[in-house]
Amino acid sequence: MATGLPIFMPTTKSRRPSAAKKPRGKSTHRSLTVPTAYRQAPGEAAHSRAYATLKEAVLAGHFRPGEVITLRSLAKELSIGEMPVREALRRLTSEGAFEGLPNRSARVPTLNRRQVEQLIDLRQQLEGKAAALAARNITLVQIEHLRALQSGIEKSISGGDLHAFTALNMAFHFEIYRIADNPVLVPLIQMLWLRMAPLVASSVTLLTKSQSTRRGSLEYHEKLLAAFQTRDPGAAEDAMRRDLAMLDKIPGYWESLPITAG
């Protein structure tokens, strides 16, 4: 059932995402920490540690569309040699998280509206399927764990803690995908999240702007939990699809995205 993805959880040392758009072509300072699971495995190859950390950071919204990063700066932040970081970037570039640039650097891709709509459509199909599978497999203990995550999401929204919201929302979703227990499906979902995460992070402030958007951001998670409680795959799939479709219904969503023409 393991996916190989160490879920990022908020810490007091982590930087909260800003609503302001970062200038393209410039690297942003951030604190990247090797996940605990990898720090506790000294025999793990350095490139695996670098890959796990960078992948987690992308998914948690620590990068912005158009942002340029360098091998030297990443190696320094990770306290890992440049060769392992180069290999990690190569893998993540093949998965769509970065674009290779000359001079030992890489860039977070920018997307146009059609590409974003295509990604949302694919996510609805794959993540909806995963929710249906999870409804068949889920246990009461797992439901309670999801409820605890949902409680944390509610508190982060009401408290305006966008960093915690991003991390807990990701944890909620990937817990469902792990419960689905489909080792082919989960890596495909991860790849779509890698492409979407920088955009989602840049627009997350919209979720707390009004009572209606705050309520909408929680509604379909509650419907998912209800579907899991009754072991209803159809209802779980529908709730997941509606949760993802809600993105482009948020007022100002498209205007907030740093997307390109096309």
pLDDT tens for residues 174-184?
Answer: 999 999 999 99
Give me the residue label for tokens 């540690």: 49
Structural domains for the chain: 36-107 (1.10.10.10), 113-256 (1.20.120.530)
Q: How confident is the model at residue 262 (pLDDT cuts 50, 70, 90)?
A: low
The more confident residue out of 53 and 207 is: 53
Q: Give this prediction's pTM.
A: 0.79
- Among 65-79, 134-148, 195-209, the least confident range: 195-209
Average pLDDT over the chain, rounded to an integer: 82
Count the helices and strands in the chain (H runs, E runs). 11, 3
pLDDT at position 222, please?
A: 96
- Among 12-21, 168-177, 226-235, the least confident range: 12-21
Amino acid at residue number 241? R
pLDDT at position 159, please?
A: 84
Instruction: Give the CA dihedral 186, 192, 193, 195, nearest 10 degrees.
Output: 150
pLDDT at position 256, please?
A: 72
pLDDT at position 208, please?
A: 62
pLDDT at position 80, please?
A: 86
* Residue 238 CA: distances (Å) to CA of 38, 188, 224, 242, 261: 36, 20, 9, 6, 31
Other C-beta atoms closer than 10 Å to the C-beta of 82 total 15
Average pLDDT over residues 62-81: 89
pLDDT at position 103, please?
A: 87
Q: Is residue 53's pLDDT more than 80?
A: yes
Q: Is residue 236's pLDDT more than 90?
A: yes
Q: Is residue 122's pLDDT more than 70?
A: yes
pLDDT at position 209, please?
A: 67
Do 177 and 130 form a contact (C-beta atoms < 8 A)? yes
pLDDT at position 11, please?
A: 37
As a whole number of angstroms, the distance between CA 124 and CA 82 comes to 37
Q: How confident is the model at residue 2 (pLDDT cuts 50, 70, 90)?
A: very low
